[in-house]
Each structure stands twice: as structure tokens, then as C-alpha cells.
Structure 1
Amino acid sequence: MKFHYLHLFLLFALTTVSSCDSPEDKKGRFLLKGNNQIQENDYAGAIRFYDEALRIDENFAEAHHNRGIANYKSANLAAAIQDFTNAIQINPDYTDAIHQRGLAYLDQGEYYKSLEDANRLIKSEQEDSRGYFLRGLANEAVKRHEEALNDFETALGLNPNNPDLLVNRATIYFYLDRFDLAENDLQQALDHAPRESNIFNLQSMIEFERGEYQKALESVEKAIALNSRQPFFYNNRGLYRIKTGEMEKGLEDINFSLKQNPRNLYALRNKGIYYYYAGQKTQALQYLEEVYQKDASIPLTAEYLEKSKNLN
């Protein structure tokens, strides 16, 4: 008799808990489950939980934003941009969503839209560095190097020891041929982030410009040891290997980089340079002319195109 009473009591308690489980509670649980899946790098699983939360409340801005993060990390940029846009439409002051959409636009190659989001972010939070950082990246992408430099300097004024900002300002100094200033920034960044692979990659690019090809190769090897998934590092190593006489290894690196990103004009240029040194005029001209037509400003392209035309 006591057993039946206990059973009925538990059934009543569970029913009561279930009836108190509001839509707000349910969508919140799905959001947390999605967040946990992101922590586990299970982005598809995270998206499924965010979908469930949005079935309960399609105006759940945080679920749109977090699903955007999962899509972004899955390299589904179009879906990520739509998710961030949904979140912003629901909450126009959602600065995290504006920031993330700006980054996604940047990766998508929609640089002027990224600039718009950066300006919107700066207007909303003038004392935060991330809007200036984003605008610097967008200005760098459209080759407004002086404007990018100003943005990174403003961001560093707000966040002085940020190694990512230091590396990006160093990158602009590199483009402006101010190598000593670039190396000063890289040393500061190294003090704060000794395992940041981009520091060593940029150092290798400076050494290459100085004609220190073996040093450049050693530096980019350090970058690859820290981050073996970055195709641009392999492309740079490919060029340095060509210059140090490791032609076939260089071609392997360039082809690997192109497999990850077939549209990388710098890798196509390097393949043309490989064929120049291999004495294969037709192939060298094919790659170098393609790059020159698409972006004549890419360094070494015009030089090696002219050299290739003079091959026998």
C-alpha cells in the first residue's frame, strides 16, 4: 500500500514538473545543449539544438547568433551571415552579432559590407577595440593600408597588449616596407603569445623580402609546427623551397595549399614561378598571366611574367 502511494506521489511530482516546464525553460535548455556541443566542436549537433530552440521561439536572437557561430565554424558562411542578420533584425543593438557578421562578410570576400558592420560597431561601442580591429581588417583587404594602420593603432590604444592587433599592425608595416617597425611589433606579440603561428609566418615574409631565404624557411617551419592547417604557410614554404633549390618539395607545398584554397592567387603565382625555374615557359606564362590579369599588384608577378616571356 505504501509502495502504491509512493508511486502515485512520484507520478504527480513528475507531472507537476512537466507542466511547469515553460517554453522559456525548454528553449533555454536547447540553447545550453547547443552551446555544449560547440564546446565539443560538434557543430552539426549544436545546430540541431539551436534549431529546436528556434522552433519554440523563432525570435530567439541568441539562438540565431549561436547557430551563426556554429555555421561559421563549419565554414558555411552564407548560412552564418543569415543567422547573424536574423539576430540583428530581432535586436538591432546586438553588437556580438554585428561583429560576427562583419567577420563572416570579411571571409566571404564582401569587404565593403564588413566595413559597414565595423562602422556600425564603432558607433555603438567607441571605447571597445573590436570595431576598429574589424575595420582595420576590412581596410587591409581592400588595400587601404594607411587607413588600416590608423584603425589598428586606435585599437591598440584601447587594448595595448593584444597580440593579434600587434601582428596585424606588423602586417601593414610589412606592406608599407617598414620592416623594422614590423619586427618591433612581432617581438612584442611574441612576448605575449609565444605560440602564435602568424608571428613566425610574417617574420618569414620579412626575411624573404631581405633575400634571407634560408632564414625565411626556418621561420615558416616554426609557423607550420604550431599550426599545420594553415594553407598560406605551406604556400610560403613552397616559394622559399624553390628559392633554396628544393624545387619539387616546393611544388608539393604549393599544390597542397591550392588544394585547400584553389582561388589563392599567391599560390597560383608561386606555381608560375616554379615553372619559370623549371624552364617550362608555356606553363609559367599560363599561371602568371592569369594572376596578372586578376590582380597585377601582387608582388613578383610582373617580374616573373616578364622573365618567363624571355625563356627559350
Structure 2
Amino acid sequence: MNNLSSLRFSGHPPYILAPTMFVLCLSLLVGACGSAEERKAVYLEKAEKFLDEGNFPKARVALKNAVKIDPKDAHTYFLLARVAEKEQEWSQAFGNYLHILDLDPNHRAALTRLARFYLAGQQKQKVSEIAGMLFKQNPHDQLGETLRASVLFMDGEKNKSLAKAQEIAVQNPTDAETLILLAAVFSANKEFEKAHALLKSGLAAQPEDVDLLNNVATTYLAMGKPQEAQGVLQKIIDVEPHVFAHHEKLAKLYLYLKQPDQARAVIRKAVEREPDNEDRWKQLVAYSEPSQREQVLLDALEQLPHSLSLRFLLGQLYEFNKQPEKARATYEAIVAEEETSDPGLKAEVQLARMDFSDKKQELANSRLEKVLHESPRQADALLLKGKIALGEREGKEAVQAFRTVLKDNPNQSTVLNLLGKGHLLSGEFQLAHESFEKAVELNPRQFDAAMALARLSVKNGDYPKAQQYLESILTEAPNHLETLGFLFKVYVAQNQWSEAEKVLVRLREAKGSPYAIDLADGLLAQARQQWDRSKKSFEKAMKAKPNELAPLTALIKQELFRKRSAEAERYLKQLVAKNPEHPYASGLLGAVLVQRKDQPAALSAYKRQTEVNPAWIDPWRDWAMLEWSSGKKTEAIRILKQGFSLNPDAIQLATALASLYQANEQIDLAIQEYEAILVKNPGAVAAANNLAYLLTDKKGDQESLARALALTKSFNSKTPNPLLLDTLAWVHHKLGNHSEAVSLLRNAVEKAPTHPLLNYHYEVVSIQAGDSRTAKKHIE
């Protein structure tokens, strides 16, 4: 469809003439009956004054007061709509213009402004309807004819449209709206000189019409004459010096021309014109050099010492500049002055966020508790609380926080995405899906949510649906590399080789990294059992990034799949000989040697790997398990403890150590290890499940059972996993809550009807509950 959307909506609002003396005298004669009209006139007079000063917020308030007195005054609504345009509140302006037509269907000015909106949105039908309404008033209406020409252009009838436009232009119209729309038709056909001439003819009669001037500047730019455009934009500022948008437009032109000093000068003049306007100061900060922004903000605060938004901006600048002490001092000063007011609570949340980043968890939580005690629905505090819960894998707590935020603003796509993540952590996959779907519906560029939906679809085996979600991202961002990579894997998983090849081409066109492309090409060739091609691609990837794990692992797995373990061993030994400090080669060699049943050499390789790259977790665990399998239990435990001491955040090693303690009947040590895991990772479900088992079956005292119940009570809602339900049921059984145990196990058995342990437990608890018939029936 042809584009006519380059229209400007920043015209000069009509002025309102003050009430005449005759009207005033008449009002005095009618006394009280005219009081409402008098009040309306006062508000309109105030609005006129504010419009002259460029004080649009106050003009808006005065006009709204006038509308309250006379809600059927179309002209006052028109002024409100024009103020909304000046403030670039397009939806408000559009809504007001529509309302005007409800009051006065023939309001020409409102019809004209609506036509611009519809043209910008390429809504042909609506543009045609407005043309028809204008023709009802005047069958030869030039604006109506121009709208008709615009519709012809959008319909692809370019020649007819241009002929019609030329016919209207020959008639020398003087109406600014008609000229602007005619110019849009010619500009859409790249006839910028003709469009420019039309607009200039209008300026001859109306030299200070801001709409005409704006469009003249646009045609100058289209004609490659930025210097002339600068002059016109400066003229607009001279006509309406109080409208900041004009200053910003000229500043942006200077930035485009790579003249940042001139851009800053324009914004600074706007600030000097209204030094009490904090929004202008904020723009000056944005246009300033990074090294000058702190001083600009300090200057602003000298002029506006009580501006909280500027103080918050200063704190954020200090954070960005990695000056945490100054940022803290700024926020703490706000807290001290504002205490429990909204700004004070907001500053407290900023401090909590900094505490959390500094790993001061308790202090961060303490601040958030304080804020939420004063204001239980403080959005910033709830968002941070939810994000912290996500980081700790506490899905339920995260869900509760994000849901509370959404109660006050249900259409925040970012929060809906976070809510979906909380549901995922809680095992509530359908609720997660619904949250992600709504996030994407509200904002198609919420790529994180769309990716989550694609992953859920893959998890459910619905690859076509995953492709749809990924393609929806690529519709918005065709070169989104992460999405292209995921789409490639989806096609490979379905053996759709030709489609995978097409995505690989798109990855290359999107300038993906050569390493990633070679790795992908190798994986595709490997899946198609094109061994020579895959090996060549993997080796190219390794040449680009010699120390990466993925291509080396893929190549070794390929050799093992082909039952070429000797070749894999030889390749890795050569690599280790060439690069003894390779971060992964010795560990992979250990795995290959295990397959080749060379345990002594495997143990040596694993030991070497943990010395070269102690941060790689897998070799520690594999080394320990190999020692354990040969009966060296003490050595296996020692290895895991050593690995964990070097990697204190490695939950895999802690879990493996706890499981070895448990297998070695060192129950107290196993319990101690699981408790330590849960301190660092409260959402570690497997650790909670294993600990609950030990407390219930290996301890069994009331204190241990109470702790086991606390650990497992969320299992019923957290996940559909029947084994977790079984643990919770067994805890209830041990506590004597037999009916609750029966109910939980019934649910578990329905989910896994052939599982022997679940069936055995169901039999036991049914008997204990006095339901031997159910137990017997179940056994049968």
C-alpha cells in the first residue's frame, strides 16, 4: 500500500476572542440565569491566555472546566483536541475529534483533523467517509476532492490520483489543510518540488501557519536541503517559542547532521526560556555529553531544588556512572525528607535494589518489607520482590507479587512476562502459557514471552506451534539472531533439513557470528549423517573459538555415535598434547576412556581436568562417581567436597555430595548438606524432596516430621509430579493424617498408574485409613 503517513499534527491552535462588552452587559441583565455562561467565559478567557503563553497543561485544565459547565460545546472540545495535539497526546486528540462529530456532525475543522489521522493510519474507508461528509456540505469542496485523490493513490491508481491533485492545484487553493494534503499526494510520488511549491504558495498568504511551515521543512529535507529546513524550523520556533516540541525537532535535525553542539544549544535556549520547566532540563541532560550530565542536573537542581524527579534522575545517573556512594546518598536524602510519602517509598525501593545487587539480601528484603507495610500495593517494591523471588526460584512468591502489580494495571506486558516465569517455576505450565500469550498479544515485541511460548511448545512436542511463535518474532525483527538459532534447532529436531538450510541462509544474511553459523552447519550435517561436512564445520568453529565446549563436544559425540571411540581418544590426546591447558579436552577424554573401559587413564584424565579448569562442574562429579563405582567411597566424597569448596554455588556438586552421604548411610551429613542447599536455593525442589524423605523415613521424630511437612506442603500445587505428591502423602501418613495421605496418593497414582512404589504406598495408607476394600481393589 502506498504511504501517505508523513503528515504533521502540530498546527497552531485557533485563538478564542474575548467576550464582547455587549455579551457581558446582557449577562448582567439576566442575573443568576447567566452565571454558568459567565463562568464558562472566564475559563475560556483563561484558556486563551494560557495558549498565548504556551502553557498547555493549564490551558487544558481551564478548557476541561469549561466543558464541565457546557458539555455540548463542540468548539471547546475542539480546542481541547488541539491542545492534546500540541502535547503530542494523539489518542486524546483523536477521541475529542470523534466526540465533536457526535455533537456537530458538520464540524469542518474536526472533520479535517480526523482526515489526517485516518490518512496517517492508511484507513481508506474512513477517509472516503469524511470526503463524503464534506461533499454533503459543498459538492465541490476542494478538501473533499483532495481526500478523494489521496484514496485513489492508496488504491494504487497513481495516475488518476496525480491528475486529480494537479487539477485541484491549478485552482490555486488557499486553504492550508487542502494544500498540506495535496502536498502529501505529490510527496508520496516523490514529486517533492511540486509539493514544496504548493506549500510555499500557501505561506505567501499565511506566513506564520505552523502546519504549513512544518511541511515546508519536511519537503526541504526530502529535497536534500537541510540548511533551508533549519531556517524554517527556526522560523517555527520564532512563531511559537513556547512549544518545546519545535525546539526538539530542530535539535534532532542538528543531531542528524552530526552537529551535536548546535543541538545542545537549541535545547539550552529552550531551557533558558523556561528555567522552571523540569521536563526541559531532563531533555538538556539527554542531549548533553555523558561527562557533562551530572553538572547539568546539579544546575537544574539549583534552579529547582525541590524537584524530586530531577533528584531521582541524578541518582540513576550516579548508578549508571558506577558511583554507588553518591547514588545512595541521593536516595537516602530523599528518604530522610519524604519518609513514607510516595517519593520516599520509591527511594527506599531504589536502595533495596542496590542492596540486592550488592548481595545484601537481608537488607534489601528489610527495606521492601518496610515499603510494603506502608503501601501494600507499591508497584516498584512488588516488582523487585517478584524479581528477587524469581532469582531464588521461589515461583509462588513471585507469582503473588506480580499478580498484585497487575491488579492495578492489568495490561503491562513486561509484568505479564515475569508472571509467566513465576508460573513456570511453580510448575503451572498452563497458567504460564496464558500469561505469556497475553504479554505477546499486548506487545508483539515482547520477544522474551514469545520465546518462552516456543520453548513450552517444544516441551509439549508441538513443533509447528513453536515455529509460529518464532516466526512472529522474526516478523517484528527479521534479523533476531537468537530466534533464528532457535528456529534452526526446531527444524533440525523435526528432520526438516531443507527448512533448516533456509534458516541457516537467513543467519548468514543477518550477519550472525561465523562461529555460530559453522556450529549450526555442523549440527545440521551431523543430523543428516553427513559426517565429513559436519566434521569440517565443527573444526572451523573450533578454529574460530578454540576454547569453546560446544563444537568439540559435538565432534566427540559424533565419533562415539559412529562407534569410533578409538578415533575420539586419539583426537583428544592430540589436542591435549598440542594444548595441555585446553579448558575441556581432558574432561572429554576422561568420558571417552570410561567408554573404552580404561578406568585408570580415565581417573587420571578427570584429575588433570579439575586442575586445568576447576570451574567446569561435570568432571568433578564424573570423577567422584567413577571412584564410587570402584568402591572408593571416601575418595569419592573427598573429590566432591574439594570441587564444592572451589565452586560454592554449584548446586549439582552439593546435590551429588548429599546423595553420596545418603547412600553411605551418613544421614545426618546428608540432611546437613540438603539444608545448606536450600539456604542458598530455596526453590530447589529435588533437594527439598530428598530432605523430606530422610526426615520422614530415617528420622521420624515429631520435629523432623514437622520440618518435612513444611518442606513439602507446596508440592500439591507446585507441580504435577506424582513422585513429589508421594513424598507429601508419606509425610502426612507418618503424621497420622491418613485421609489426606489417601487423597494425595490417589492423585499421584492417577498420574502414574503403573509405578510400583506409588501403588505400594497407596495400599499402605488406604489400609491405615481403614479402607481395606480400596486397598484390595487397587492391588487386584
TM-score category, normalised to shorter length = 0.5 to 0.7
Asked if structure 1 preserves the Cα contact closer than 8 Å seen for 2:334 and 2:343, the reply is no
Name which of 484, 488, 495 aligns with 1:166: 484
Partner of 1:102: 420
Alignment of 1:1-312 (within 5 A): 18-36=336-354, 40=357, 42=358, 44-45=359-360, 48-49=363-364, 51-57=366-372, 58-89=376-407, 91-106=409-424, 110-126=428-444, 129-189=447-507, 192=510, 194=512, 202-211=520-529, 212=531, 214-215=535-536, 217-218=538-539, 236=554, 239-240=557-558, 242-243=560-561, 245=565, 246=568, 249=589, 251=591, 255-256=618-619
Asked if structure 2 preserves the Cα contact closer than 8 Å seen for 1:80 and 1:101, the reply is yes
Q: Work out which of the two has the higher radius of gyration on C-alpha atoms and give 1 or 2.
A: 2
> Cα–Cα, structure 1 residues 191 and 16, in superposed 2: closer, same or farther, change >3 Å?
closer
State the alpha-carbon separation in 2 of the partners of residues 127 and 70 from structure 1: 24
Aligned partner of 1:101: which letter?
Answer: L
> Cα–Cα, structure 1 residues 223 and 151, in superposed 2: closer, same or farther, change >3 Å?
farther
1:43-68 deviation per Cα after TM superposition (whole angstroms, max 9, x unaligned): x4367425513422331222222233
Cα drift, residue 164 of structure 1: 1.7
Cα drift, residue 191 of structure 1: 5.8
Aligned partner of 1:138: which letter?
Answer: L
1:136-169 deviation per Cα after TM superposition (whole angstroms, max 9, x unaligned): 2221221111111112112211222211221222
Cα drift, residue 200 of structure 1: 6.1
State the alpha-carbon separation in 1 of the partners of residues 496 and 590 from structure 2: 28
State the alpha-carbon separation in 1 of the partners of residues 422 and 515 from structure 2: 22
> Cα–Cα, structure 1 residues 238 and 129, in superposed 2: closer, same or farther, change >3 Å?
same
1:245-303 deviation per Cα after TM superposition (whole angstroms, max 9, x unaligned): 336627279955988797xxxxxxxxxxxxxxxxxxxxxxxxxxxxxxx9xxxxxxxxx
State the alpha-carbon separation in 2 of the partners of residues 107 and 129 from structure 1: 19
Aligned partner of 1:60: which letter?
Answer: Q
Cα drift, residue 192 of structure 1: 4.9
Asked if structure 2 preserves the Cα contact closer than 8 Å seen for 1:200 and 1:222, the reply is no
> Cα–Cα, structure 1 residues 24 and 186, in superposed 2: closer, same or farther, change >3 Å?
farther
Partner of 2:46: none
Cα drift, residue 227 of structure 1: 7.1
1:56-110 deviation per Cα after TM superposition (whole angstroms, max 9, x unaligned): 2331222222233334345554544444344334543332121023234446654
What SS does structure 1 have at the residue aligned with 2:360? helix
Partner of 2:242: none
> Cα–Cα, structure 1 residues 83 and 49, in superposed 2: closer, same or farther, change >3 Å?
same
What SS does structure 2 have at the residue aligned with 1:177? coil
State the alpha-carbon separation in 1 of the partners of residues 527 and 435 from structure 2: 34
Aligned partner of 1:52: which letter?
Answer: R
State the alpha-carbon separation in 1 of the partners of residues 393 and 426 from structure 2: 10
Choose between structure 1 and 2 for higher RCO, CA contacts under 8 A separated by at least 6 residues: 1
**Aligned-residue identity in percent:** 14
What SS does structure 1 have at the residue aligned with 2:348? helix
State the alpha-carbon separation in 1 of the partners of residues 428 and 544 from structure 2: 28
Cα drift, residue 34 of structure 1: 3.9
Asked if structure 2 preserves the Cα contact closer than 8 Å seen for 1:103 and 1:114, the reply is yes
Aligned partner of 2:471: which letter?
Answer: E
State the alpha-carbon separation in 2 of the partners of residues 254 and 32 from structure 1: 36
Cα drift, residue 21 of structure 1: 3.6
> Cα–Cα, structure 1 residues 209 and 20, in superposed 2: closer, same or farther, change >3 Å?
closer
Asked if structure 2 preserves the Cα contact closer than 8 Å seen for 1:64 and 1:87, the reply is yes
> Cα–Cα, structure 1 residues 20 and 88, in superposed 2: closer, same or farther, change >3 Å?
closer
State the alpha-carbon separation in 2 of the partners of residues 222 and 105 from structure 1: 42
Root-mean-square deviation (CA, aligned residues, Å) is 4.4
State the alpha-carbon separation in 2 of the partners of residues 47 and 160 from structure 1: 44
State the alpha-carbon separation in 1 of the partners of residues 552 and 391 from structure 2: 22
TM-score, L = length of structure 1: 0.59
Asked if structure 1 preserves the Cα contact closer than 8 Å seen for 2:403 and 2:419, the reply is yes
Asked if structure 1 preserves the Cα contact closer than 8 Å seen for 2:479 and 2:510, the reply is yes
> Cα–Cα, structure 1 residues 23 and 119, in superposed 2: closer, same or farther, change >3 Å?
same
Asked if structure 1 preserves the Cα contact closer than 8 Å seen for 2:417 and 2:439, the reply is yes
> Cα–Cα, structure 1 residues 226 and 118, in superposed 2: closer, same or farther, change >3 Å?
farther
What SS does structure 1 have at the residue aligned with 2:406? helix
What SS does structure 1 have at the residue aligned with 2:478? coil
Aligned partner of 1:49: which letter?
Answer: A
State the alpha-carbon separation in 2 of the partners of residues 222 and 208 from structure 1: 18
